[in-house]
Amino acid sequence: MTTMKREYSYLLQVGALFLNLRPKWRYLSILQLVIYFTIPIYFMYSAVLTTIAWGDDLNNIATTVHYTTLLLITDIVLVAFIYYRARIADLMRITGNNYYTYKDGFQSSKEEMWKKRDRKLKIILIVAVPLYFSLCVVVGLVIAPNLDANKKSSTNADYINNIYMKSPVPMVFPFEINEEATYFFSTLSQILAGMVIALVIAGADLVLIFLSLGVGFQMNILRDAIQNIDNRALKVFNEIYKEDSKKKTMKELYDDGRFMKLIDWCIKQNVEHHKVISRAFEHISEVGKWPLGAAFFFVSAAIAFALFSFVSSSQIIAQLLSLMLLSAEVWNMLIISLIGQQLTDMSEGIGNDLYDLKWRYWNKSCKVSMLIFKERLKRPLVILAGGLTPINMEMFAAVSQPLRCIINAVFNQKLINPLK
């Protein structure tokens, strides 16, 4: 819990992504999970009924289906994080132990620079992402209904095709709303649903991004350790064999069996570091596999719905909300794809770092250790959406290509028929 609070504040607990099962908080945490899981199911059922009730009103159907995808992703995220609780706990242990400590005392000279860079990015994300999601909720559930109510074009009818029009988001409710109490309950339930979506999806996004940044940070340290393997071995050699080290050149050291043993020892430490990184990455990949798979599977449809609502709606506030959700989804995809691409590139770069070493001067034992290490690197660190598709910039390009086509088609239609 200490590592969790230090690295992620209360993101995991507020989003019901990692329950606090200590006796004092156990029942409250379980109740929180039940509420977070039940609310999206309830509104998904209402959304299906609402979509059917809208008939041929494509604009409102697009908006309703868009919200439904967000509700579905919310429950998928909750299931994945609860199911892989043991993996998340192991990730917290690995993070709390700082992954790996080199026995030769190696510490990268660039470590502080990387820490500051990642810390700045984390602060920006931890402030911007929840704030932006919360703003979307406020715009959609508070500002939009008030503005629409003041417009002359807004309907005075309470119900249209069994859809209650006076709630923040017009929907079919399983009860009749004809008094203040039921109106208050319907409004409060929609506000809670918006908060659950924001807390769960934003929390999962941030946690996966922060964990991936941690793996990237360790990959940088590993690569720096490999690039400085001669200096690491030389430092230890100087400490053990002080007199001999002063009289030897690097060429002579490569012929010295004692120095080669230290090189071999340093390689094995790199292998151990890489094992810990791979274990952490495997946990992240498993935890994020289905949420990211669902997000990338539904995101094209969700973006299309948001874009359709943005262009076809005559209400400015509805257009604003659609544009805000569209921007959040595209940026979310881009950030995750960039991090996935970066991790894959760094993983492949380790093999190049090994090849650039002066291994041709090493003895057979060191060469064998290096080849074993290279065999382990043949399987690069790749995050798979749904366990099938690699998450990288190529995938982002594939997803955004239809988006560009949709944008061109919709805006061309808007230009041809500007009054529609």
Q: How far apart are CA 92 and CA 88, in angstroms?
A: 6
| DSSP structural state of residue 361 | G
Q: How far apart are CA 189 and CA 52, in angstroms?
A: 21
Residue range 100-120: mean pLDDT, rounded: 90
Confidence at residue 416, expressed as pLDDT on a 0 to 100 scale: 46
311 confidence band (pLDDT: 50, 70, 90) = low
Residues 6 or more apart whose Cβ sits within 8 Å of residue 255: none
Confidence at residue 2, expressed as pLDDT on a 0 to 100 scale: 63
Our measurement of the distance from residue 328's CA atom to the centroid of its chain's CA atoms, rounded to an integer in Å, reads 13
Confidence at residue 145, expressed as pLDDT on a 0 to 100 scale: 59
Q: What is the pLDDT of residues 356-413, one digit of tens each?
A: 888 888 999 999 999 989 888 888 788 888 777 888 888 877 777 756 665 665 556 5
- If you count them, how many residues does the chain have? 420
Q: What is the pLDDT of residues 183-197, one digit of tens each?
A: 888 888 888 888 898
Query: What average pLDDT is seen over the chain?
Result: 81
Q: What is the pLDDT of residues 146-177, one digit of tens each?
A: 665 555 445 567 788 888 877 777 888 888 88
| DSSP structural state of residue 384 | E
Rg (the chain; Cα; Å): 27
Confidence at residue 271, expressed as pLDDT on a 0 to 100 scale: 93
418 confidence band (pLDDT: 50, 70, 90) = very low
Q: How far apart are CA 283 and CA 165, in angstroms?
A: 45
Confidence at residue 268, expressed as pLDDT on a 0 to 100 scale: 93
**For residue 40, with 0-12 CB atoms within 10 Å meaning exposed, 13-18 middle and 19 or more buried, which class applies?**
buried
Q: What is the pLDDT of residues 33-65, one digit of tens each?
A: 999 999 999 999 998 888 888 877 777 777 788
Q: Does residue 1 surpass a pLDDT of 80?
A: no
Which comes out higher in pLDDT, residue 190 or 75? Answer: 75
Confidence at residue 144, expressed as pLDDT on a 0 to 100 scale: 60
Residues 6 or more apart whose Cβ sits within 8 Å of residue 397: none
* Other C-beta atoms lying within 10 Å of the C-beta of residue 21: 11
Which comes out higher in pLDDT, residue 386 or 262? Answer: 262
Type and span of the H or E element at 118? helix 111-138
The residue written with tokens 């109740």 in the block is: 31
Q: What's the token pair of residue 50?
A: 């609402």
Q: How far apart are CA 386 and CA 397, in angstroms?
A: 18
Q: Does residue 339 surpass a pLDDT of 80?
A: yes
**Cα 179 to Cα 32, 183, 186, distances in angstroms:** 29, 6, 11
Share of the chain above pLDDT 70, in %: 81
Type and span of the H or E element at 333? helix 316-355
Our measurement of the distance from residue 168's CA atom to the centroid of its chain's CA atoms, rounded to an integer in Å, reads 29
328 confidence band (pLDDT: 50, 70, 90) = confident
Alpha carbon dihedral 143, 150, 44, 134, in 10-degree steps, equals: 0
Most confident of 79-93, 191-205, 237-251, 317-331: 79-93
Coil, strand, or helix at residue 84?
coil
Q: Could you tell me if 355 and 229 are in contact, meaning their C-beta atoms sit under 8 angstroms apart?
A: no
**For residue 2, with 0-12 CB atoms within 10 Å meaning exposed, 13-18 middle and 19 or more buried, which class applies?**
exposed
Coil, strand, or helix at residue 390?
strand
Q: Does residue 267 surpass a pLDDT of 90?
A: yes
Residues 6 or more apart whose Cβ sits within 8 Å of residue 220: 108, 110, 114, 346
Q: Does residue 331 surpass a pLDDT of 90?
A: no
Q: Could you tell me if 88 and 253 are in contact, meaning their C-beta atoms sit under 8 angstroms apart?
A: no
Which comes out higher in pLDDT, residue 273 or 69? Answer: 273
Q: How far apart are CA 92 and CA 3, in angstroms?
A: 6
